Structure 1
Amino acid sequence: MRNDPGSPHDPSISDLASRLRAAEEAIRARDDFIAVAAHELRSPMNALALQVAVLEHMADKTGGPVADEVRRLRRTLERYVRRATVLLDVTRINAGELKLACRPVDVRELVDTVVATHAGEAAFHGCRLDARVDGRITGHWDTHMVEQILDNLVNNAIKYGGGHPVEVSAVRHGDEVRLQVTDHGPGIDEQQRAKIFEKFERVVSTSAYQSGFGLGLWIVGRMVAAHHGRVDVQAGPQGGTVFGVTLPVDAEAAISKDSP
């Protein structure tokens, strides 16, 4: 008996299902490989970063060209560590494993940490990096994710800000906290802003800085969504770009409230 086209026993449908299963297995194998590779890359680089930090401390006592070269080495190493972290985050997102591990987060401490981390990079680009936190704010969030969110936004602002000042601010409005990163660079046109949080989109495609995966803002969007927050990008009132992240003060409570 000949099978009717479109029936479950149709050879063409069976072949398509087989191909889909093979594709899904290939994607899982790819993600597993990326996760392992990223972990294996990041672990020795973290150890190396500690050794470079010691060298930098020693070199700072003498100053001169050696100190400058060690600082340059540290910045290069930090970029590679961030790339390995991006690969791990992408793997977790693709696998649907972006789960929150919430605990109290001191927002002033968070902002100070991110600003201090990027101080050397900002100086290298001739950029002044300012921070302002209104009062004492504590959020109940996943510390790693929120630090990664702010880190990506500050990194982009410095990279694409053209050496102009960058401001990082935080303020609480009721049951929400607004984190904001403002640069005074060339800005981003409206068409780019509409798709900037898509995967593989760069902040400024015509920039001289073309390194990176074009994944940072996509990851930001996914991590903000995991906290049931919102992220937006606007033109600055006097030029440049303003990235804003609004998070519920208690992410776990917000998620539980919205769960069916």
Structure 2
Amino acid sequence: MIRKFFLERASWILFFLFVESFFLFIAYLDAAVPFDSILYMVFLSSILFLLFLAFRYRKETEFYRNLEEREGDLDYASVPEGESPFEKIVSEKMQSLLDDYRRKLAKNRLSLEQEKDELLSWIHEMKTPLSAMHLMIDRVADETLRDQLTYEWLRIHLLLDKQLHQKRIATMENDVFIEQVALEPVIFQEIKALRSWCISKGIGFDVSLEAEDVLTDGKWLSFILRQILTNAVKYSESADILIKSEKKGEHVRLEITDFGRGIDPRDLPRIFDKGFTSAKDHQNSGATGMGLYLAKKAADFLHIRIDVKSKPGEGTTFILTFPKKNEFVRLAGM
């Protein structure tokens, strides 16, 4: 701040030094002017000028120091009150801008809420024709055609489900209920939803649950498992997917292992990034790069740690480590 102050007042300081030097120069040229007296006056005026600078530094920088330390929010109270005319101009202008930003923010927030409500309404409305379509597909006599139609139906269903949770995850704290959740019905419900797809690809499931219950939100756990299982089925062919749970100290671990193509080591650190798709998926227009990103966001909120181990050509293991009871103090009241 001192350096900025001297840079701001550099013209004043240079002007003062020029005047002092000019007086000394005149006294040096004119013998009638006592040089020692002028030198003494220059010395005294320099002392006074330094004291004046010190006083003005404290006076002038207080407002800007408070402004620099101000948090980047829209709170009026954090805007320092100016004392000098120029400081008052800055303070009043900032308050005017904050008013404008707050109005625009409220307007944009309302617009986003309306858009979100409209989209959620549309998704829910789509579920009715999808359910009817599923019943019609079940009545198709041609088994090959029925499997193809069921697969396409499932893709639409999963995309709508992903979009629904993507909109809900921003306000997830309002949609969480922590309780003891039985793993078996949740897992088998998700397997059942993928049954036709798994049959067409020759994929089975080997489920072994030593630990049967976890403390979490059942609905969001289903969503997390749905994303992991969908990827496991998508990238596997004619192989079983292993699902097992076990107790590790006070934590429950759930492992989901597939024997598909695996994940490239270069891609592994980025699989939870928003919109990330591997190089092998760039030609796949159906890959959105949002499933694992949303699953990780939901898991982080529920204090579920997700670890991934993978070898290209051998398969991938997702490990979900559920929190202890005392880690849910913040979520328990929701």
Tell me how many residue pairs correspond in the alignment: 247
What is the match of residue 243 of structure 1?
A: 318
Task: Indicate conservation of the 8 Å contact 1:3/1:9, yes or no.
Answer: no
Q: CA deviation at 1:156?
A: 0.5
Deviation string 1:190-228 (CA, Å, 9 cap, x unpaired) is: 3422222222223x3422543143221122112212322
6 and 24 in structure 1: CA distance in 2 versus 1, 3 angstrom threshold: farther
What is the match of residue 126 of structure 2?
A: 41
238 and 256 in structure 1: CA distance in 2 versus 1, 3 angstrom threshold: same
* More helix, by proportion: 2
Q: CA deviation at 1:89?
A: 0.7
TM-score, structure 2 normalization: 0.63
What is the match of residue 185 of structure 2?
A: 109
Task: Indicate conservation of the 8 Å contact 2:252/2:322, yes or no.
Answer: yes
CA distance in structure 2 between the aligned counterparts of 1:190 and 1:19, rounded to whole angstroms: 45
1:71 is the counterpart of 2:147: yes
1:84-123 equivalent positions in 2, closer than 5 A? 84-97=160-173, 99-123=175-199
Question: Percent identity, aligned pairs only?
Answer: 21
What is the match of residue 251 of structure 2?
A: 176
Which runs of no fewer than 5 residues in structure 1 stay unpaired? Answer: 60-65
Deviation string 1:139-198 (CA, Å, 9 cap, x unpaired) is: 243222222211211110121235554322222323322222222333223342222222
TM-score, structure 1 normalization: 0.78
1:222 is the counterpart of 2:297: yes
What is the match of residue 91 of structure 2?
A: 7
1:134 is the counterpart of 2:209: yes
What is the match of residue 59 of structure 2?
A: none
1:254 is the counterpart of 2:330: no
1:140-159 equivalent positions in 2, closer than 5 A? 140-159=215-234
Moved more, 207-216 or 81-90: 207-216
The amino acid that maps onto 2:108 is A
Moved more, 110-119 or 86-95: 110-119
Task: Work out which of the two has the higher radius of gyration on C-alpha atoms and give 1 or 2.
Answer: 2
168 and 5 in structure 1: CA distance in 2 versus 1, 3 angstrom threshold: farther
1:13-52 equivalent positions in 2, closer than 5 A? 14-52=99-137
198 and 27 in structure 1: CA distance in 2 versus 1, 3 angstrom threshold: farther
Q: CA deviation at 1:230?
A: 0.8
Task: Indicate conservation of the 8 Å contact 1:182/1:236, yes or no.
Answer: no
CA distance in structure 2 between the aligned counterparts of 1:50 and 1:254, rounded to whole angstroms: 44
Task: Indicate conservation of the 8 Å contact 2:306/2:320, yes or no.
Answer: yes
Which runs of no fewer than 5 residues in structure 2 stay unpaired? Answer: 1-84
The CA RMSD measured in Å over matched residues stands at: 3.2
